[in-house]
């Protein structure tokens, strides 16, 4: 070791100017050079030059820190002597230093313009025993062998460096010389510098060099592959250019066509395309070049290549995930549909946080005309994605989804690949319309083919039979629509998240017509709002008397009919402007097609207002009961289904069990015939929700209780008189409001569904929850209960009396 100046040599502790190194570790017994740029480092260098030319060099932990503190520096560094300085730029000094000893940082002191360090000299452990010397010698040989392998993998190593390493015998010098001159990780170099045991140093160095050799070997293999690929591409390019020039000289169109395909292949290779695709297309191009121009196989390959190059491999559009803008667009284009809009906004929010999320396949289920298709198009517009629509109604052939083998005459790709070709991007929004109307026959089951398309774990490599190469569908946003879930196969339905779109209420239809349909039809018929005016009463009249549907398609056609008739009047010169009011509808459209649903204005016995759900919305469904003299026969009419007939039998059994309490002759089922009827006998009816209505009608008819005319009800009843929940409360409540009902009896378990009921309905209708039939009867029947029926027991007539439940109409929620 070179001697330091006398002060440092005589003391184990000293103070020297400190210079922090970025990305560099200095070692004793080695000479290194580097550039000094930082102001503090230059001042520290000047202080060292004015003193004994000694510096304390220590590495930084984080290269980005400009003014490091003690915690930002390693604790062990090198005391170095400055051998040479050279100014290479106005603020850059290149210095040559020699490491003369190790030091440990005790304290960092910040001066005004530089930093100095109090350091403690650190010496290495001595190799004393014979065993340690033999171990050190063995490790030196291992390190030299690893270095020799390193030199083989890095042929640019200087010869002087190689000779110095091979000639070195001192294990301490060997470690420091190799670590100083090789490109090893900073952390590994620092660990070698801090280690005090020479044998442990050699062990660490051998491990580091073995790791570096493995990395160099992998790096060389990769470089070799890249070099071979470049050589092959250059060779192919040279040969193609030769073929192109020869074909131009000969006037041969085949080579020109091949050149065009090769140019397209080169463009395709620039995108992120699977190597399998490029290899397949390259093979087909080579095959085309070997076939005669007019052969049938050449025509098949030519069509195949045209189809493949038209597909958007590696083409992606950037999503616009602005929730506020999407919400404004949905509210502008669609009225109502709160739950659907909320789910769409949730979808966009999740995609904004996790862009690579998979498996969000939405199925919009609802009756025709409620806006399923237009909702999907609005989602595509709001996200900035390309849009493609597939109509699956009536599709029976599996090849419509997967395509045909190109060996068949007239073969073509399937509808999924066709939609991607139409959308011209690999991440479009594809609408699979009418998925519930898929069929199947001897040609296969298209619903089963869709299982792979809609499964995010499988559609990463969807293979069409015609294209024969994998296409990644995982980034496609699939939205499906259906009118009913019952006809969708269970495995296919399991892959989708169902969102129900219920039928529009009267108020929603009015708002949609006023905001969207009327302006749209006026514009399509060349009219303006000043020339033709359709009033609110006219729109309500169209909804009530000329249409009966779940959506608004017939309503739009009716508005179009009014616009046509108005246009005819204006062109004929009969008037300059047309104002259509509700009373004018019969003049324009003829007599009313539907009569309004209105409740009777008087209380009746045996007639109760029930509520029913249909595909076109809710309806008022009165239940009538007549009690006739007879032998106990039960008649049920009105196109009743099996479930509603069972509800009628349950109602009769319940009334029999409660006959005494309700003041009814317990023997009525033997002495009377019961006729239950639901009007509009041509319309089929089914379901359990008419149970409470039938019980109320039976009790009214058997004991002459008048039924309040302004009360309607819905709910399933059990043999014990419990009222069970039902569905379609939103539509049923709107039907009650439209008919003029002021009180609606609903099952208590349906109270949570009142959130979905329209605000205008909740303002005008009083909802009474019921969990037992007694609540229903007390609310709907006048003078209930009367005196209980007297039962004869032997010679004595014993009147049966039961306590009457207090509470009036029960809990009423508006």
Average pLDDT, integer, range 529-546: 89
* 441 beta partners: 444
pLDDT at 191 over 80: yes
pLDDT at 813 over 60: no
* CATH, domain 323-500, list 3.30.420.10, 2.60.40.1220, 3.40.50.150, 3.40.50.300: 3.40.50.300
More confident residue, 224 or 722: 722
- At 419-433, the pLDDT tens digits run 888 888 888 988 988
- At 214-273, the pLDDT tens digits run 888 888 888 888 777 777 777 777 776 676 666 566 555 555 677 788 888 888 888 878
**DSSP designation for 73:** B
- What's the CATH fold of domain 130-219? Methane Monooxygenase Hydroxylase; Chain G, domain 1 (1.20.58)
Q: How far apart are CA 625 and CA 696, in angstroms?
A: 10
Closest listed residue to residue 784, CA positions, set 694, 692, 712, 705 = 705
So what CATH class is 6-122? mainly beta
On whether the CB atoms of residues 429 and 385 are closer than 8 A, the answer is: yes
Sign of CA dihedral 595, 600, 605, 611: positive
Average pLDDT, integer, range 748-761: 86
Contacts 24+ apart (CB under 8 A), 134-141: 135/199, 136/171, 136/198, 136/199, 136/202, 139/171, 139/199, 139/202, 139/203, 139/206, 140/169, 140/171, 140/174, 140/202
Closest listed residue to residue 161, CA positions, set 172, 170, 171, 148 = 148
Mean pLDDT across the chain: 83
Q: How far apart are CA 536 and CA 514, in angstroms?
A: 8
Q: How far apart are CA 135 and CA 140, in angstroms?
A: 9
- At 159-190, the pLDDT tens digits run 888 888 888 888 888 888 888 888 888 888 88
In the prediction, which pLDDT does 809 show?
A: 33
Tokens found for residue 350: 């999740």
- Is residue 590 packed enough to be buried (19+ CB in 10 Å), middle (13-18) or exposed (0-12)? exposed
Confidence (pTM): 0.56
761 φ/ψ sector (left φ>0, alpha ψ -120 to 50, else beta): alpha
Residue 58: how many other CB atoms lie within 10 Å? 26
Residue 458 CA neighbour count, 13 Å, CB half:
9
Average pLDDT, integer, range 685-702: 90
In the prediction, which pLDDT does 14 show?
A: 87
* C-alpha distances out from residue 416 to 243, 245, 433, 465, 683, Å: 37, 40, 13, 11, 41
pLDDT at 563 over 90: yes
Parallel/antiparallel/unpaired status of strands 604-605 and 790-793: unpaired
Catalytic positions, written as ranges: 689, 732
On whether the CB atoms of residues 788 and 738 are closer than 8 A, the answer is: no
* CATH, domain 506-589, list 3.50.50.60, 3.40.50.720, 1.20.58.1610, 1.10.8.60: 1.10.8.60
Tokens found for residue 281: 């297309």
CATH architecture of 604-799: 2-Layer Sandwich (3.30)
Q: How far apart are CA 683 and CA 551, in angstroms?
A: 20
Q: How far apart are CA 130 and CA 146, in angstroms?
A: 24
Q: How far apart are CA 801 and CA 347, in angstroms?
A: 61
In the prediction, which pLDDT does 810 show?
A: 33
């Amino acid at each position: 070791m070179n001697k330091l100046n006398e002060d440092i040599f005589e003391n184990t502790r000293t103070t020297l100017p400190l210079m922090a190194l970025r990305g560099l570790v200095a070692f004793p017994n080695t000479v290194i050079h580097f550039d000094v740029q930082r102001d503090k480092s230059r001042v520290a260098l000047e202080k060292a030059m004015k003193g004994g030319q000694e510096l304390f060099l220590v590495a930084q932990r984080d290269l980005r820190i400009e003014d490091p503190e003690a915690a930002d520096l390693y604790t062990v560094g090198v005391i170095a002597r400055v051998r040479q300085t050279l100014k290479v730029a106005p603020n850059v000094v290149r210095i040559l230093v020699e490491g003369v000893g190790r030091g440990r940082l005790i304290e960092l002191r910040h001066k005004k313009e530089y930093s100095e360090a109090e350091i403690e000299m650190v010496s290495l452990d001595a190799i004393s025993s014979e065993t340690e010397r033999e171990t050190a010698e063995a490790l030196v040989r291992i390190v030299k062998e690893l270095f020799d392998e390193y030199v083989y993998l890095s042929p640019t190593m200087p010869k002087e460096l190689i000779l110095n390493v091979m000639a070195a015998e001192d294990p301490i010098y060997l470690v420091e010389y190799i670590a100083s001159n090789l490109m090893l990780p900073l952390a590994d170099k620092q660990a070698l510098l801090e280690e005090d045991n020479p044998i442990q140093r050699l062990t660490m160095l051998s491990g580091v060099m073995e790791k570096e050799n493995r990395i160099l070997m992998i790096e060389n293999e990769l470089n070799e592959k890249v070099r071979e690929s470049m050589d092959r591409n250059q060779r192919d390019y040279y040969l193609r250019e030769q073929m192109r020039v020869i074909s131009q000289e000969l006037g041969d169109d085949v080579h020109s066509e091949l050149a065009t395909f090769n140019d397209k292949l080169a463009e395709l290779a620039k995108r992120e395309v699977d190597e399998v695709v490029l290899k397949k297309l390259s093979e087909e191009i080579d095959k085309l070049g070997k076939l005669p121009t007019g052969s049938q196989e050449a025509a098949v390959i030519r069509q195949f290549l045209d189809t493949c190059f038209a597909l958007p491999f590696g083409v992606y559009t950037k999503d616009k995930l602005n929730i506020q803008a999407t919400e404004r667009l949905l509210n502008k284009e669609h009225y109502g549909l709160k739950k659907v809009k909320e789910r769409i906004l949730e979808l966009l929010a999740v995609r904004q946080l996790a862009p690579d999320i998979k498996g969000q396949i939405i199925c919009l289920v609802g009756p025709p005309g409620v806006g399923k298709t237009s909702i999907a198009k609005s989602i595509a517009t709001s996200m900035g994605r390309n849009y493609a629509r597939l109509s699956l109604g009536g599709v029976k052939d599996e090849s419509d989804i997967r395509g045909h083998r190109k060996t068949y005459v007239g073969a073509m790709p399937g509808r999924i690949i066709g939609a991607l070709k139409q959308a011209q991007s690999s991440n479009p929004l594809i609408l699979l319309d009418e998925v519930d109307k898929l069929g199947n026959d001897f040609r296969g089951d298209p619903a089963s083919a869709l299982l792979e398309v809609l499964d995010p774990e499988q559609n990463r490599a969807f293979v069409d039979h015609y294209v024969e190469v994998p296409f990644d569908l995982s980034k496609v946003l699939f939205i499906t629509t259906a009118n009913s879930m019952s006809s969708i196969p269970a495995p296919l339905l399991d892959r989708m998240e169902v969102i129900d779109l219920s039928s529009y209420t009267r108020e929603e239809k009015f708002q949609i017509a006023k905001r969207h349909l009327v302006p749209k039809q006026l514009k399509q018929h060349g009219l303006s709002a000043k020339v033709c005016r359709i009033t609110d009463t006219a729109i309500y009249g169209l909804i009530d008397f000329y249409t009966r549907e779940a959506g608004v398609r017939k309503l739009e056609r009716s508005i179009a009919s009014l616009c046509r008739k108005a246009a005819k009047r204006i062109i004929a010169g009969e008037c300059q402007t047309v104002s259509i009011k509700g009373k004018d509808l019969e003049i324009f459209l003829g007599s009313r097609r539907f009569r309004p649903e209105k409740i009777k204005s008087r209380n009746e016995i045996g007639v109760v207002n029930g509520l029913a759900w249909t595909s076109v919305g809710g309806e008022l469904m009165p239940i009538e009961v007549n009690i006739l003299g007879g032998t106990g026969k039960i008649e049920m009419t009105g196109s009743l289904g099996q479930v509603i007939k069972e509800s009628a039998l349950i109602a009769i059994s319940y009334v029999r069990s409660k006959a005494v309490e309700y003041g009814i002759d317990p023997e009525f089922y033997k002495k009377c015939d019961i006729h239950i009827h639901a009007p509009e006998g041509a319309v089929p009816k089914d379901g359990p929700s008419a149970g409470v209505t039938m019980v109320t009608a039976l009790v009214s008819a058997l004991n002459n209780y008048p039924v309040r005319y302004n009360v309607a009800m819905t709910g399933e009843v059990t043999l014990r008189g419990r009222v069970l929940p039902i569905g379609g409360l939103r539509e049923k409540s709107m039907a009650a409001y439209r008919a003029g009902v002021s009180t609606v009896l609903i099952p208590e378990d349906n109270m949570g569904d009142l959130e979905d009921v329209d605000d205008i309905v909740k303002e005008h209708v009083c909802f009474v929850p019921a969990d037992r039939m007694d609540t229903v009867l007390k609310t709907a029947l006048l003078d209930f209960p009367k005196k209980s029926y007297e039962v004869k027991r032997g010679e004595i007539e014993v009147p049966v009396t039961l306590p009457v439940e207090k509470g009036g109409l029960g809990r009423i929620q508006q």
